[in-house]
Structure 1
Amino acid sequence: MNQPATSPTIKTERLLLRRFNAADAPEVSRLCDNYNLYKSTLNLPHPYPLESALEWIATHNESFTSGRMYEFAITNKESGKLYGAIGLSHQQAHRHGEIGYWIGEEYWGQGYATEAARAVLDFAFRDKDLHRVYARFFASNPASGKVMEKCGMTYEGTQKDHIFKEGRYEDLLLFGILNPNHQ
């Protein structure tokens, strides 16, 4: 699957956020086939074989083109090394979206998720003119909440025992932010 020439990229101080392509699948599979990453995410399967990565990447083009979902590879701006992924859903009727991200465990604690999330929030508000963006995370994964707080998102509530995973219920904490250009 080739990336169209018009495919948007987002540059930050250290990162290049770009569309995924099939050549990324082996590294996506390697990074995602990690139990610690699986237990901290809503939708990541475990194990995560190459076929899952290829299937996931194959859905991006249509989702991006239709404006329903924007998935970006989080990569090093200089070397191109893949660190993770960040996505923004787009509920056009309500002018809001949900942001979600994952970073490979070997890259945790280096600020990549925060840097990417700030850039995608800017994309959501400036380029897509969304009114609101929200995000959810497991109460057992407070590091994800720290990313949201660093991006200016605020706590809006807890969905008690909302997800059943690994034989137990997990609370989801909800954070959100309104477009500062709409206030």
Structure 2
Amino acid sequence: MVKIKGVKIMHHKGTALLTTKRLVLRKFKIEDAENMYHNWASDPEVTRYLTWPAHSSVEVTKMILNEWIIQDHDQQYMWAIALKDNDEVIGNISVVKIEEDIKCVHIGYCLSRKWWHQGITTEAFAAVIQFLFEEVQVNRIEAHHDVLNPNSGKVMAKCGLQYEGTLRQTGINQAGLADMAVYALLAQDYPKAV
């Protein structure tokens, strides 16, 4: 890792408990498997623009959740998006890549189709952005989306990320090769951007 003058290290804290008006963002537990499977992981409409296919059974979901739980550490950021009033897990948001040398994190998220277009992902992402800038002290938060999925870009823009360009055929997902729109927010532009 190259040390760059003036760039301090990140202060990793792992998946901290975060709350918003309607949500609790927390670590996954194995008991979330049924909600995860039925609410989004088995839905091919939800996974269409993701890198993994819809789960074929709740057993697959349990196996994946178990791996996430076992691999938990202070540089893993993987939140279950749960409803505050009943703890039903309806999606997830996570840091899918960390570039330590430039203090950059890449965010990915997915949400149950039942909860689309209600501001849930925006609310969750805004809480994660605040945590990552203020607590972890990242310098850049980045997210990409398949250009065929413009609603994901709307979430990014609502959270203050700026569109930086489109990389042609740089991604692959369940729909095939994808042109990916890149959005980012820098620490210097936060919090005035949100």
Shorter-chain TM-score tier: 0.7 to 0.9
CA distances 1:114-139 after superposition (whole Å, capped 9, x unpaired): 00000001111011100001000010
Gap runs ≥5 in structure 2: 1-13
Determine whether 1:72 maps to 2:72.
no
CA distances 1:52-99 after superposition (whole Å, capped 9, x unpaired): 3223322334554141x3000111112112110000243323211011
In the alignment, what sits opposite 1:100? Answer: 108
What TM-score results when the alignment is normalised by the length of structure 2?
0.82
Higher RCO (CA-CA < 8 Å; seq separation 6+):
2
CA distances 1:121-175 after superposition (whole Å, capped 9, x unpaired): 1111011100001000010110000000000001111111223445743211110
In the alignment, what sits opposite 2:88? Answer: 81
**Match 2:67 to one of 59, 65, 68:** 59
Gap runs ≥5 in structure 1: 1-5
In the alignment, what sits opposite 1:118? Answer: 126
Q: 1:59 to 1:127 in 2, by over 3 A?
A: farther
**Match 2:52 to one of 14, 30, 44:** 44
In 2, Cα distance between equivalents of 1:34 and 1:115 = 22
3-state SS in 2 of match to 1:157: strand
**Match 2:181 to one of 141, 157, 173:** 173
In 1, Cα distance between equivalents of 2:107 and 2:181 = 13
Contact 1:17-1:74 within 8 A present in 2 as well: yes
**Match 2:43 to one of 18, 34, 42:** 34
In 2, Cα distance between equivalents of 1:71 and 1:84 = 11
Contact 2:35-2:88 within 8 A present in 1 as well: no
In 2, Cα distance between equivalents of 1:97 and 1:167 = 25
Query: When the two structures are aligned, how many residues end up with a matched partner?
Result: 176
Amino acid at match of 1:15: L
In the alignment, what sits opposite 1:161? Answer: 169
Percent identical among aligned pairs is 27
Q: 1:127 to 1:164 in 2, by over 3 A?
A: closer
Q: CA RMSD in A?
A: 2.3
Contact 1:63-1:70 within 8 A present in 2 as well: no
Q: 1:61 to 1:90 in 2, by over 3 A?
A: farther
